[in-house]
Amino acid sequence: MPSGPSDDHWQTCYRQLAPKLLLFARQWLPSTADAEDVVQAAFVKFWRHRPDAEPEHYPLLYSAVRSTALDFLRGQDRRTRRENDRDRGLLRADEPYFDRTIERQESSALVEDALRRLPEAQREVLVLRLWSDLTFAQIAETLGESINTIASRYRYGIEALRKHLKPHEYERV
């Protein structure tokens, strides 16, 4: 019977990664509450299987969050087919991705809007690279793609983001 993870281990990891994992989960789940459920399930599953996990294993958490979010979506699809349009609207809560400090309130909203317009494949690469600090190699491993594919998705994603933000005379985020 494997021993459970020590408090120090998982809490250090949680403090370091929780906001990033939450942002990553929200690429599929607009509702923060649903995204937190997914992060909780993936985080607990990861630490139960790897109670001695070290920081070099942390990128696996993103894979766990991704697969849990996709499983959640499949279940949600089945449910929403049984629900009427009024109830379905409640699942589309539009909550912010980033901290909206006063000086960055407007720019945060612009970036969020531009991110939501990107294709999912580009958006998840940008999120992992810019706000989770993963390397292209780690992102490739997480998403099961080649490094070249990831690098080109990132490049196209950045270009698209600039294009979306340009009409707003975006100079300082």
- Residue ranges binding other proteins (CB under 8 A): 2, 4-5, 7, 10-11, 14, 18-20, 22-23, 31-34, 36-37, 39-41, 43-49, 57, 59-60, 63-64, 66-67, 70-72, 75-76, 79, 87, 89-91, 93-99, 104, 107-108, 111, 130-131, 141, 144, 158, 161-162, 171-173
Q: Output 92 or 148, the one with its CB closest to other proteins.
A: 92
For the bound state, the minimum distance from the C-beta of residue 5 to other proteins, rounded and expressed in Å, comes to 6
80-100 core/surface letters (b: 16 or more CB in 10 A; e: else): eeeeeeeeeeeeeeeeebbee
The minimum distance between CB 31 and other proteins, in angstroms, equals 5
- Confirm if 78 and 88 have CB atoms less than 8 A apart: no
Q: Which residue has the tokens 């990033």?
A: 20
| Amino acid letter for position 71 | D
- Alpha-carbon distance of 93 to 123, in angstroms, equals 19
> Cβ 141 to other proteins, closest distance in Å?
7
Sign of CA dihedral 161, 162, 168, 171: positive
For other proteins, which is the closer residue by CB, 97 or 136? Answer: 97
* Beta carbon of residue 91, minimum distance to other proteins (angstroms, whole number): 7
DSSP structure class, residue 52: T
- The total of other beta-carbon atoms located within 10 Å of residue 143's CB is 18
Least Cβ distance, residue 79 to other proteins (angstroms): 6
C-alpha separations of 159 from 64, 65, 85, 155, 163 in Å? 29, 27, 36, 6, 6
